[in-house]
Structure 1
Amino acid sequence: MSTLFTGTAPPLPATRGLILIVEDEPEIVEIVRAYLARDGFRTATAANGHEGLRQHLAHNPDLVILDVAMPELDGWEVLTELRRRGDTPVIMLTAHDQDIDKLTGLRIGADDYVVKPFNPSEVVARVRAVLRRTQANRASADKARILECGPLRIDLDLHQAHAVIDGVALALPLTLTEFRLAAYLARTPQRVVARSELLTACLPEGDTLERTVDSHISKLRRKLEDARIVGMPFSIRGVGYRMAAE
């Protein structure tokens, strides 16, 4: 591993964001902290999985650098909980250079993977790259907060749906479940979505029958037809639904 940075140049102002380092080896923590500080990042640290989760709640970091082999909770368990909480970017640190470990991390939701021993400058470069990518994805997601499919317009922030006919917007009186179904289908209007997927993604807990989806879709379609939007959602016999007819 590279030695701790000892150059004379002062660190950049800490303006790039907060990085949480969850690692039980103090030497590694100090090296990574020093290189991140030199690049303008603030840092918080935790020496085990439980403390890492507490620090994540306390600081809401911009990114987590997460060791795999740690006491109390290992990195896989911590990553699973972080993904349950949200989409904070995570870079895994591990001594295992095995494809199965990389696949496990990526499957659970890691954004990148660095194998020990590593060059600390590479870790900083990975941090910058992951932050650039995730911030770009969030910017794209923000632009997609309004969904449009033909005359149907859905505002996800205001939780409102309108039929726009001849330039006039008519509010649609959708229930919560109907709104969820309309929004889910409108995100990818050409994709056929199975009833089982709609059941999991849109219906309240406790609804377990796929035919319940058909009932809600029928009511949604009737409200759209009342607003002069005909043929949406479109039924694919024996499979599911898509928002666009073709």
Structure 2
Amino acid sequence: MTKILIADDNKQITSILEEYVKKEGFTSVVAFDGEDAVIKFETEQPDLLLLDVMMPRKDGFEVCREIRKVSNVPIIMITARGEDFEKIMGLEIGADDYIVKPFSPGEVIARIKAILRRIAREEKNVQVFSYDNLKINLEDYTVIIDEQLISLTKKEIEILWTLATSKNKVFSRDNLLNSLWGYDYFGDNRTVDSHIKRLRAKLDQYSHPNWEIKTIWGVGYKFEVLEHV
């Protein structure tokens, strides 16, 4: 059964979310501060995490960073302010999605379902892709360049896979958003830009002279291959 970890110091919000999660047939675990969220994550091994930004002891950003060191479990950040820097910060450190308070519990459930459907689709199509010095394995979600394991988040690997398996094809931001987040995703295409920026920075730490993720200004992105390869 799918287990959701709800981390929020507002007991009224956690109670409502617990009720809605239960109605969908999921189980839930609750943490009321950041340190407890990390402990519950380690002991309960949830399938998805709803993570509030403003929590005592450790904020949601700190919790997300710690979890991303050891796991690619889906994380939906919850922010009260709705400010762009918080959304971008969450995405930069590895969150899969964000939602702004006040929100309807139905919207949260819709986001959860969208992520779980995407994961289910991915698990049905396990493949390995290799090109030049790059190898992407969706079975264990690893990326290797020149025999070196690259530390990427699950979403970054999915973006790289989508681009690399369609070499030289240009994907618009909306293409990537719909393909990787789903048509029922509530965010905007700046989410794509944020993930691409982080992915490119990690890849560029390693030599890959025969290919690159190239920005097509005003359009989107592509995995560009040089002709001499």
TM bucket, shorter chain: 0.5 to 0.7
Q: CA-atom RMSD, angstroms?
A: 3.6
Partner in structure 2 of residue 81 of structure 1: 66
Partner in structure 2 of residue 118 of structure 1: 103
Q: Does 1:18 align with 2:3?
A: yes
Q: Is the 8 A contact 2:127 2:137 kept in 1?
A: no
Q: CA deviation at 1:156?
A: 9.4
Structure 1 alignment gaps of length 5 or more = 1-14, 158-175, 182-186, 202-212, 214-232, 237-241
Distance 1:75 1:35, change over 3 A: same
Q: Is the 8 A contact 2:3 2:46 kept in 1?
A: yes
Partner in structure 1 of residue 220 of structure 2: none
Query: How many residues were matched structurally?
Result: 165
Partner letter of residue 101 of structure 1? E
Q: CA deviation at 1:103?
A: 1.1
Partner in structure 2 of residue 52 of structure 1: 37
The separation in 1 between residues aligned to 2:145 and 2:114, in whole angstroms, is 38
Partner in structure 2 of residue 7 of structure 1: none
Q: Is the 8 A contact 2:127 2:138 kept in 1?
A: no
Partner in structure 2 of residue 93 of structure 1: 78
Distance 1:155 1:76, change over 3 A: closer
Q: Does 1:143 align with 2:162?
A: no
TM-score using structure 1 length: 0.56
The separation in 1 between residues aligned to 2:37 and 2:93, in whole angstroms, is 17
The separation in 1 between residues aligned to 2:33 and 2:76, in whole angstroms, is 16
Partner in structure 1 of residue 55 of structure 2: 70
The separation in 2 between residues aligned to 1:90 and 1:155, in whole angstroms, is 22
Structure 2 alignment gaps of length 5 or more = 150-160, 169-199, 212-224
Partner letter of residue 127 of structure 2? K
Partner in structure 1 of residue 177 of structure 2: none
Residue pairs, 1:1-246, within 5 angstroms: 15=1, 17-140=2-125, 142-144=126-128, 147=129, 179-180=147-148, 188=164, 197=203, 245-246=228-229
Q: CA deviation at 1:109?
A: 1.3
Q: CA deviation at 1:97?
A: 1.4
3-state DSSP class of the match of 2:46? coil
Q: Which has the higher contact order (CA 8 A, sep 6+)?
A: 2
The separation in 2 between residues aligned to 1:94 and 1:129, in whole angstroms, is 19
